[in-house]
Amino acid sequence: QKEVEQNSGPLSVPEGAIASLNCTYSDRGSQSFFWYRQYSGKSPELIMFIYSNGDKEDGRFTAQLNKASQYVSLLIRDSQPSDSATYLCAVKSPQEAYKYIFGTGTRLKVLA
């Protein structure tokens, strides 16, 4: 079982819709979770981090964490074509403070 799993996609949504990106992780002791966005040919950039169960909102983005289900998601409201990118879920290892484990990413396409 992979440590951090994401559906590779592509996930296609129409402009203005809600895009829902999902991530599961295997280590139940994980405490810190991150969503990065990576445009084609560019480097990853942080969108949000979340530590506590529940929802965390930042503008059009909402991160949701459910530690019991070992599940973290990212919702993008009012999706725009400029949101088209690969979204990487990352989990900080509970055993090694400096180690961030990435999923394979979900490619999102927002159709104009």
Q: Does 32 bind other proteins (CB under 8 A)?
A: yes
Q: Does 99 bind other proteins (CB under 8 A)?
A: yes
Contact 13, 109 (CB under 8 A): yes
Contact 49, 37 (CB under 8 A): no
Helix, strand, coil share of the chain (percent; to 5): 5, 55, 45
Of 15 and 45, which CB lies nearer to other proteins in the complex structure?
Answer: 45
Interface residues with other proteins (CB under 8 A)? 8, 32, 34, 36, 38, 42-46, 49, 86, 88, 90, 92, 96-102, 104-105, 107
